[in-house]
Amino acid sequence: MVGSMTEPAVGRAIDPVLFDWPATRPALRGARCRDCGALGFPASASCRRCGSEAVAPEELPRRGRLWTWTVQHLMPKEPYRSSETAATFVPYGVGYVELLEGLCIESRLTESDPGKLCIGAEMELVIHPQWVEPDGTAVMSFAFKPV
């Protein structure tokens, strides 16, 4: 991963369906079903629970609670690549963050020290550079950091 996980660079979103970028206060984009009320992420054209196409976009909260986590000791494969090499790779935290109504988001974490992570800890969304394209464009992704 390039750059700082807490100081986002200007660039493009890894996928504009996931979150708004650039944005002063970016938030993840979800969708709520008007028929059954289910909330999903990422936003989709139909409900994952009942299949209805009556879904409406919904901005998800920027904060949640760490539901579970682990430390990833292997370099990620496509499409989760970064600008790291085998020589520069640093293990990183990965976890599920529960935002609301039981909706858990799988995400990279800004912290990987087991002494600084615990289930139930409050977490906050951050945008970070995942890799840099050959033309210098930072490709931005999301992560959660302990509050």
Pairing of β 122-132 and β 92-100: unpaired
Q: What is the pLDDT of residue 66?
A: 98
pLDDT at 10 over 80: no
Cα(60)–Cα(39) distance, integer angstroms: 9
pLDDT at 2 over 50: no
Sorting pLDDT into bands at 50, 70 and 90, what band is 9? low
Cα(34)–Cα(52) distance, integer angstroms: 8
The model's pLDDT over 81-140, given as tens digits with 9 standing for 90+, comes to 787 888 999 999 999 999 988 999 999 999 999 999 999 999 999 999 988 888 999 999
The model's pLDDT over 48-75, given as tens digits with 9 standing for 90+, comes to 999 999 999 999 999 999 999 999 999 8
**Lowest-pLDDT range, 4-8, 28-32, 136-140?**
4-8
Cα(104)–Cα(66) distance, integer angstroms: 9
* Percentage with pLDDT > 70 across the chain: 92
pLDDT at 27 over 80: yes
pLDDT at 4 over 80: no
List of residues 6+ apart from 54 with CB closer than 8 A: 33, 34, 35, 47
